[in-house]
Amino acid sequence: MKPILGHALCVTLLLFSSWALSATCPEILQGKQRLLNSTDEVDLCEEFKGKTLLVVNTASQCGFTPQLEQLETLHQTYKDNNFSVIGFPSNDFRQDRGSEENTAKVCYLDYGVTFPMMARTSVLGENANPLFSAISEQAGIAPKWNFYKFLIDKNGKVVATFPSSTSPMSTTLTSIIEQQL
């Protein structure tokens, strides 16, 4: 009789702890993402819970690709204030062709990116990355081109969107980030 009670207690505690974890982690951050040109995965909740995030769909062969340098500056400016830029390379607009290795070279070697870059993924339609599906649903808008920017507050809510043409270091964007920190 005692082992059954012990087992039931363990199951109850496990269910409660799973519920508690999901209750403390915003739904938008539940899941894992593979890092660019790597087999390593990042648990979004563990890594980004409680942080303000700028999620950007990137492309290595786009006219906006030089924004990677400003995104890195933005990341460095605010990273000590619970902020992170997260890049998601995508070929949905046909400007991230070639291998993930090539995309990684552009990001890491050509532009010196240190913020998290996830594996190449789709950001549109039924094959969209679950994070982008959730972002698009919350924001009421999907990326219209490469380097579309979504600002997510520390509670996992999309609070602002910025088109590709918005410079990452623009006062329009940085002032809203600062309000969220």
Per residue in 57-99, pLDDT (tens digit) is 999 999 999 999 999 999 999 999 999 999 999 999 999 978 9
Is residue 19 domain-resident? no
Per residue in 107-124, pLDDT (tens digit) is 999 999 999 999 999 999
Asked if 169 and 70 count as a contact pair (C-beta separation under 8 A), the reply is yes
Tell the burial category of 57 from Cβ atoms under 10 Å away from its Cβ (0-12, 13-18, 19+).
Answer: buried
Record the pTM.
0.85
Is residue 92 domain-resident? yes
Domain count, the chain: 1
Task: Give the other-Cβ count within 10 Å of 94's Cβ.
Answer: 11
Is residue 21 domain-resident? no
Query: Angle CA(26)–CA(31)–CA(36) in degrees, nearest 5?
Result: 120
Give catalytic status of residue 62 as yes or no. yes
Residue 3 is predicted with a pLDDT of 56
Is residue 11 domain-resident? no
Per residue in 18-30, pLDDT (tens digit) is 444 445 899 999 9
Is residue 9 domain-resident? no
Tell the burial category of 60 from Cβ atoms under 10 Å away from its Cβ (0-12, 13-18, 19+).
Answer: buried
Which CATH number goes with the domain that contains 55?
3.40.30.10
Catalytic residue among 10, 25, 45, 62: 62
Is residue 62 domain-resident? yes
Residue 108 belongs to what domain range?
26-180
